[in-house]
Structure 1
Amino acid sequence: MFGLGLSRTGTRSLTRALRTLGLDVRHYPADRGTWDTLMRGDARFPVLDHCDGIADITCVPYYEELDQAWAGSKYILTVRDEESWLRSCQFHWARPVESKRGKGQEYPELQRFLRAAVYACLEFDEDRFRRVYRRHVDSVRRYFADREEDLLVLDIAAGEGYERLAPFLGLPIPDEPFPHQGRRPAPVGDPQ
């Protein structure tokens, strides 16, 4: 299972929801094996040897390679209102790239690499981000156009949740609310 949404489109909420459904999905893995895989570009992430999937920007530049390497997988493209997404990105990108604590994590370098690979820049640029968002969503939809059973487009910020996600994965809908509901509000200008 792969979450193909750009950062700030609900990928963390998606990961939490997938865990609630019983899947071990990693959000934005930042370990040495992930770094090595990104450098090779072969989509053979070692973390997938012992979990069910990954989500967030790690997958974005490599969804076609992931599809070839992991045949039969399911893909979820999280989307969100473009203006809201841009505001959230601007807030998020204003924070400096910081080291993630933990053994063996190459987070600052990995984050810089992925930002450059996806956005062709390291700083927030509204026009560029808008183009990247539109191009990515369009490209993923075109790639999976004849395979509707393999791709779910999910707008978590608009309230879509388990009622669409669980049936797509062939799992029962849980009784609890989707992870984005009831959460502490994001800071002003940073709607998750």
Structure 2
Amino acid sequence: MFNKVFCIGFNKTGTSSMHRLFLDLGLRSFHGYYSHIPVSDPLYAGYQCFSDGNEHDFPLLDRTFPGSRFILTTRRLDDWLASRIRHVEHRRSIGATGPMREEYEAGPRQALQAWIGRRHHYHERVRQYFDGREADLLVIDICGGEEQDSLARILGFLGLPARPGLALPHENPREGRGAVASGPVRSREAVRADVDQALRDSGLPAAAGATVFP
């Protein structure tokens, strides 16, 4: 049995769906930017599962909570960038702010290149740290993977039995592939054009957009 479960993937990779799944499994789950919460905070004593945030200090979490499981949710690079852009534009449309919106609006092209670089380096750090520890890390794409296969992999990784009627939730479907923008949010095609340009600006081939990990 695990101590705690830490979802250490970036936001916009299905973290809300993971949170909903944990709740459906009867686990105490916290969904929020816990990557900024000190490990000494009493919050950690009250929950079994944690999701959402950005670059997590997974070595510190590993040392502080031995016997825990780590799940790196990820998705295609191009889909992830597009989802982040749509998220920023949605927050703009409702008058909400936040660090990601501020970074993007200060320079969209520079922000996209920074996101690409951060993701690659972070994924590489995760890969190196957990090398040889397959029982402790699950890398999974629940946004683009087959639902029942993803669910089976998660349950198997955590050592939990399947339950009748249990399904992998789909939270925030508006942000998924094929979503149609509405209101002040730009079209899918316009967002994809920005993503393609960001890949070129970063010196990456178009095929790099399909990269999931690292």
TM-score (normalised: structure 1): 0.74
Q: 1:159: Cα distance to partner? A: 2.4
* 2:116 counterpart of 1:126: no
- The residue that corresponds to 2:82 in the other structure is 87
Cα deviation code 1:144-163 (max 9, x no counterpart) = 11211010111101225211
2:63 equivalent in structure 1: 68
1:172 aligns with 2:161: yes
User: Which letter does structure 2 place at the counterpart of 1:26?
Assistant: F
Q: Does 1:157 align with 2:143?
A: yes
Whether the 8 Å CA contact 2:72–2:140 is kept in 1: the answer is yes
Shift of 1:176: 2.4
Q: CA deviation at 1:185?
A: 4.6
String of CA shifts for 1:159-184, please: whole Å, max 9, x gaps: 25211000100101233221028x85
In structure 1, the partner of 2:40 is 44
Structure 1 residues 89 and 172: alpha-carbon distance in aligned structure 2, compared to 1, 3 A threshold: same
Aligned length: 164
Distance of aligned partners of 1:98 and 1:164 in 2 relative to their CA distance in 1, 3 Å threshold: farther
Deviation per CA, 1:79-114, whole angstroms, max 9, x where unpaired? 101100000011112324977xxxxxxxx7xx53xx
Q: Paired residue for 2:130?
A: 144
Distance across 2 between alignment mates of 1:135 and 1:44: 27
Residue aligning to 1:104: none
Q: Which runs of 4+ in 1 moved over 3 A?
A: 96-99, 183-187
RMSD: 2.8
